[in-house]
Amino acid sequence: MKKLKFLALCAMVAGVVTSCQKDEITSEVQPESLELNKNLQDALLRAGVNPLNAFETTVKHFDGSSYDVVRAGDIDLNKAELLAGNMELGDAPDGVNKQYRTNNLVTGSNRTIDILGYTGSGNALTSNMQTGLQWAVNNYNRLSTTLNFRLTFGTNFQAADMVVYNNNGSGAGGQAEFPSGGRPGKFIQILNGTGTFGGSNVNNVNEHVIGHEIGHALGFRHTDYARRRCDNSNEGTAGSIGAINIPGTPTANRWGQAGLDSGSLMISCFDGSEDGEFSSIDIVALEFLY
- Considering the domain architecture, whether residues 39 and 114 belong to the same structural domain is answered as no
What pTM, to 2 d.p., does this model score? 0.75
- Considering the domain architecture, whether residues 189 and 50 belong to the same structural domain is answered as no
Asked if residue 253 belongs to a domain, the reply is: no
Asked if residue 254 belongs to a domain, the reply is: no
- Considering the domain architecture, whether residues 97 and 66 belong to the same structural domain is answered as yes
Give the pLDDT confidence score for residue 117 in this predicted structure: 98
**Spacing of C-alpha 138 from chain mean position:** 19
Q: What is the mean predicted confidence (pLDDT) over 255-283? A: 82
What is the domain-level CATH number for residue 122?
3.40.390.10
Give the pLDDT confidence score for residue 103 in this predicted structure: 62
- Considering the domain architecture, whether residues 144 and 212 belong to the same structural domain is answered as yes
Give the CA distances from residue 79 to residues 3, 57, 113, in Å, rounded to whole numbers and listed in that order: 32, 9, 28
Task: Tell me what percent of the residues of the chain surpass a pLDDT of 70.
Answer: 66
Task: Tell me what percent of the residues of the chain surpass a pLDDT of 90.
Answer: 38
Alpha helices in 48-163 (DSSP H): 79-84, 127-142
Number of separate domains in the chain: 2
Asked whether residue 131 carries a pLDDT value surpassing 90, the answer given is yes
- Considering the domain architecture, whether residues 118 and 139 belong to the same structural domain is answered as yes
Asked whether residue 20 carries a pLDDT value surpassing 50, the answer given is no
- Considering the domain architecture, whether residues 143 and 282 belong to the same structural domain is answered as yes
Q: Which of 246, 194, 201 is nearest to 220 (CA)?
A: 246
Asked if 205 and 173 count as a contact pair (C-beta separation under 8 A), the reply is no
Asked whether residue 152 carries a pLDDT value surpassing 80, the answer given is yes
Angle between helices 202-217 and 127-142 (to 10 degrees): 60
Give the pLDDT confidence score for residue 37 in this predicted structure: 87
Greatest C-alpha distance within the chain = 50
CA distance 189 to 195: 12
Give the pLDDT confidence score for residue 90 in this predicted structure: 33
What is the domain extent for residue 61? 5-103+226-245
Instruction: Choose between 37 and 6: higher pLDDT.
Output: 37
- Considering the domain architecture, whether residues 129 and 173 belong to the same structural domain is answered as yes
- Considering the domain architecture, whether residues 189 and 132 belong to the same structural domain is answered as yes
Asked whether residue 193 carries a pLDDT value surpassing 90, the answer given is yes
Highest mean pLDDT among 78-92, 162-176, 260-274: 162-176
CA distance 210 to 206: 6
- Considering the domain architecture, whether residues 283 and 147 belong to the same structural domain is answered as yes
